[in-house]
Amino acid sequence: MTIGGCDAVTLAKRFGTPLYVIDEDEVRRACRSYVQEFSACYPNVRVVYASKALMVKAIALLVMEEGLSLDVCSGGELYTAISAGCPADHIYFHGNSKTAAEIAFALSVGVLRFVADSLDELYLIDRLARSKGLVANIMLRLTPGIEAHTHDYVKTGQIDSKFGIVIPNGDALRAVGIAKRLANVRLTGLHCHIGSQVFEMEPFADAVDIMMGFARQAHEATGFVMEELNIGGGLGIRYNSKDDPITARDLAEAVAPALIDSASRYGLPLPSLLLEPGRSIVGEAGTTLYTVNAVKRIEGVRTYVSVDGGMADNPRVALYQAEYEAALANRMAGAGQLSPESSETWETVSVAGNCCESGDMLVWDVAMPRPEVGDTLAVFCTGAYNYSMASNYNRYPRPAVVLVRDGRADVIVERETYTDLVAHDLVPARLRHASARPAAAGSARLDSAGAQSR
Ligand SMILES: Cc1ncc(COP(=O)(O)O)c(C=O)c1O
């Protein structure tokens, strides 16, 4: 198995496992396809990378080099972008619960837009901007009443979401009126995001129509002219053979005509079109490499293949019942092992993580050559929402991330160490004596606990 021209087993040996491997060309290809396909269909397009999918300095710089802007949704993501040297005037600041400190930080670096998620935030941005003698450019995130996830598309006017300002109950119109009146914000446009891992074009086209209908209503009520419309991200990717995603071209060919048609029907000027893909930029570019530590065969029931990572580096399976595909990187080309039919050495197994949770599984029921301890197991399409959602659960250090291209591998995030794990732990003075005499102190406590329970 090679990734970006690098042998996967060599990568695992050189950098250790678990290891996130990101194929640079794949990320670049995804960026270019968005920019080219949308620019071919619409006059004024800006593609904004939703950095929550994978936010590390090198990736932020890479997508910007491809002409994308950045969507950040926390002070930490903003800090990462700024410290990487990304220009603030290409950054959109999202989030449904921004703090005053985060907003002040974003004002001080001069982000391009705040995407305001509530009336409270609108007032806060205005107040903080006034205190700094600034006018903040803002967009309003609205809830268009569309929920789309994979093939599950609901258009019910459903408004029960923590995100966005509601259209049907009049809040959105009120927010536009308020934004127009506040002296230290300038309302440039509207934003919506209808869901993630979406496989249909129709909900995007419908969302465009709802947003344009609202823009018309807001124009009549307040004189607001929408300069830009952000339709969010959400394009699905192919995690396994059941997934059949639409492409950036499919999306462009559905959304651009819908927007042009709505603008003419509602008598509005064409706004700039903004998109915010995350998963479809980095998801398929990622592979996680693991080492097999144990194989447990329960005859007639299941074979568990335990690897040296799990829900701490990929929480999506436990969190969303996400489905992945996997293969043994060191046994891709073995004789008689190229297809499940060709050899009895194949076996259907389930890949188990190393965390102390029964729910910590990485892949259920995947066919591969009969796995053995020491094999290098690759899980595919882990570029999005894996490293960015990783934790130190069970005090596992977060894995390294390497960027591969043309046979070259560069570490873009170093593997955490045990020292990193305890770097922020503090021990109050009253407990320090315990660490000096662990055995004695421990047994004394046990003795007294035992005495009490008796
Ligand atoms: C506001 C917003 N924009 C963009 C995205 C990116 O979505 P995806 O990674 O599915 O493209 C998200 C994801 O949650 C989001 O909330």
pLDDT 10s digits, 21-80: 999 999 999 999 999 999 999 999 999 999 999 999 999 999 999 999 999 999 999 999
**What residue owns the CA closest to ligand 1's atom 10?**
234
Distance CA 420, CA 252 (A): 44
pLDDT at residue 339, as a whole number: 57
Q: Render pLDDT for 84-97 as a digit per residue (tens, 0 to 9).
A: 999 999 999 999 99
Residue among 276, 281, 282, 389 whose CB has most ligand 1 atoms within 8 A, to mutate: 276
Q: Please work out whether the CB of residue 233 comes within 6 Å of at least one atom of ligand 1.
A: yes
Quote the ligand 1 centre to 232 CA distance (angstroms). 6
Distance CA 63, CA 46 (A): 13
Quote the ligand 1 centre to 281 CA distance (angstroms). 11
pLDDT at residue 161, as a whole number: 84
Average pLDDT along the chain: 92
The radius of gyration computed from the CA coordinates of the chain, to the nearest angstrom, equals 25
CA nearest to 360, candidates 312, 303, 419:
312
Distance CA 403, CA 413 (A): 9
Q: Render pLDDT for 263-306 as a digit per residue (tens, 0 to 9).
A: 999 999 999 999 999 999 999 999 999 999 999 999 999 999 99
With bands split at pLDDT 50, 70 and 90, how would you rate the model's confidence at 156?
Answer: low
Q: 417 with 430: CB under 8 angstroms?
A: no
Question: Which residue matches tokens 């923590």?
Answer: 162
| Residue 129 CA neighbour count, 13 Å, CB half | 21
Q: 86 with 60: CB under 8 angstroms?
A: yes
Q: Which is more confidently placed, 434 or 319?
A: 319
Q: Please work out whether the CB of residue 328 comes within 6 Å of at least one atom of ligand 1.
A: no
Distance CA 196, CA 213 (A): 23
Taking residue 223's Cβ as centre, other Cβ atoms within 10 Å add up to 10
pLDDT at residue 253, as a whole number: 97
pTM: 0.93
CA nearest to 163, candidates 185, 146, 182:
146
Residue 442 has pLDDT above 60, yes or no: no
400-405 and 408-413 strand pairing: antiparallel
Quote the ligand 1 centre to 146 CA distance (angstroms). 14
Tell me the two tokens of residue 206. Answer: 């419908």
Distance CA 7, CA 132 (A): 53
CA angle 92, 391, 396 (to 5 degrees): 150
| 385 Cα nearest atom in ligand 1 | 9
Residue 123 has pLDDT above 90, yes or no: yes
Distance CA 290, CA 282 (A): 20
CA nearest to 361, candidates 286, 305, 400, 399:
305
Residue 401's contacts (CB-CB under 8 Å, 6 or more residues apart) are 19, 20, 21, 22, 56, 387, 411, 412, 413
DSSP secondary structure string for all residues of 384-451: SSSGGG---GGGPPPPEEEEEETTEEEEEEPPP-HHHHHTT----HHHHHHHHSHHHHHHHHHHHHHH
Question: Which letter does DSSP use for residue 416 in this model?
Answer: P
Q: Please work out whether the CB of residue 117 comes within 6 Å of at least one atom of ligand 1.
A: no
Tell me the two tokens of residue 362. Answer: 């990485």
**What residue owns the CA closest to ligand 1's atom 4?**
233
Q: Please work out whether the CB of residue 286 comes within 6 Å of at least one atom of ligand 1.
A: no
Quote the ligand 1 centre to 196 CA distance (angstroms). 6
CA angle 127, 130, 136 (to 5 degrees): 90
pLDDT at residue 342, as a whole number: 56
| 236 Cα nearest atom in ligand 1 | 10
Taking residue 89's Cβ as centre, other Cβ atoms within 10 Å add up to 12
Q: Please work out whether the CB of residue 54 comes within 6 Å of at least one atom of ligand 1.
A: no
31 among known catalytic residues: no
Distance CA 46, CA 35 (A): 8
Our measurement of the distance from residue 328's CA atom to the centroid of its chain's CA atoms, rounded to an integer in Å, reads 26
Residue among 34, 196, 382 whose CB has most ligand 1 atoms within 8 A, to mutate: 196
Taking residue 416's Cβ as centre, other Cβ atoms within 10 Å add up to 16
The verdict on whether omega for the bond into residue 271 sits within 30 degrees of 0, i.e. cis, is no
Quote the ligand 1 centre to 233 CA distance (angstroms). 5
